[in-house]
Copies of this chain bind each other. A is one copy, B any other.
Amino acid sequence: MDLNYSDEELAFRDEVRKFLDEELPKSLSDKVLTGKRLTRDDMQGWHDILNNRGWLADGWPEEYGGTGWNAVQKQIFEDESCAAGAPRIIPFGLKMLAPVLIKYGSDAQKDYYLPRILDGSDWWCQGYSEPGAGSDLASLKTRAVRDGDHYVVNGQKTWTTLGQYANKIFCLVRTSTEGKPQEGISFLLIDMDTPGITVRPIILLEGTHEVNEVFFDDVRVPVENLIGEENKGWTYAKYLLTHERTNIANVGANKVALAHLRHIAKLQKIREKPLIEDPYFAQRLAQIEMDLDAMSTTNLRLLSSPDSVANAGPMSSMLKIKGTEIRQAINDLTRRALGPYAMPFVSEALDAGYNQEPIGPDYAAPVAADYFNNRKITIYGGSNEIQRGIISKMMMGL
């Protein structure tokens, strides 16, 4: 047992800091740290900078361009990136599709798609959920019918995050209705430019456009775009979801959000004293700090333990549950920290370039919207209820 960074780890941290200091544009980190909305170019720009440095693919094997980092290095990179105000890396191609391609894709698929993910040629989005298939993903209905050397796809996907920017979508489609619902699912890669695809925005409860519906109307997809075997897509889908949950602990981002909350709590006054000195507020803040401090060790401990692969399912479920609960607690307390100034909501103030005087303190504008928006994190990627089910099935045999 040793909780201290080794000399190598410290050297790595310094290297990361130097890189961030030199390469992360100030205009971009300012946007991130003040909660402004990012454009497609903002996100793509940071992706390209990381790719140039060879630090984009921290979860890939080195042979495909991965970094070869261990769990501690990954955490150092995440912590430092978040602290510096780097945008989050868009995960759909890099962290969700790529592991599936690497494990189950053909050589041709790997050779073609992986480099395009790295160099930004492709922006992927995810075609999993459907209006009738949320937590119960296996009940999906989008059909793909073989017609010569194409599949013809009909149906509808939903909750497609940043689908408005994507040129590719990976989809779960039903290729058979026989057997259990899981058994007739296939995993298809689809070009968003194919005729018959329509993207319709879904506006979220606080008014933003992050997610979309994607409609498929006789969309013809070449059979070589199938991953692995027909009707085996459920295996690949589950593999992907496990990877998604591992990323979802978000320790680094939570640390930054907590630091921002502390910053606000020092500036906000309650009866002329800093809010952070108010005993009730201090108690709520301390609780979150303690939870996150433990969570950070839980994260490293579970990710670096020898049995991490065997228990990947339930362990990542625990990380998902606790990570999202802590984040929601931070969002909630940040909202409270503002007092009455949580109420004003001038949506334009969240766009870069807004130059009117803020309503109330300059950090107030995104806070309530973030609280509402982040209700999603306990719902998506397998709701926390689904995660509890996984834990009780896999760890307890209940």
Contacts and interface: CB of A to CB of B under 8 A. Distances in A.
A277 to B, nearest CB: 12
Interface in A31-86: none
Q: Is the interface of A mostly helix, strand, loop or mixed?
A: helix
A354 interface: no
A283 interface: yes
A336 to B, nearest CB: 15
A237 to B, nearest CB: 30
A285 to B, nearest CB: 14
A283 B281 CA distance: 12
Interface in A282-301: 283
A340 interface: no
Contacts of A283: 280
A283 B280 CA distance: 8
A279 interface: yes
Nearest to A283: B280
Interface in A261-280: 279-280
Contacts of A280: 279, 283
Nearest to A278: B279
Nearest to A279: B279
A279 B277 CA distance: 12
Contacts of A279: 279-280
A283 B282 CA distance: 13
A273 to B, nearest CB: 14
A385 to B, nearest CB: 15
A16 to B, nearest CB: 40
A280 B283 CA distance: 8
A279 B279 CA distance: 7
A31 B148 CA distance: 90
Nearest to A282: B279
A7 B279 CA distance: 44
A279 B280 CA distance: 8
A368 B41 CA distance: 62
A283 B279 CA distance: 10
Interface in A167-191: none
Interface string A72-102: 0000000000000000000000000000000
A280 B281 CA distance: 11
A241 B221 CA distance: 64
A266 B310 CA distance: 55
3 contacts: A279-B279, A279-B280, A280-B283
The 3 residue pairs across chains A and B that have the minimum distance between CB atoms: A279-B279, A280-B283, A279-B280
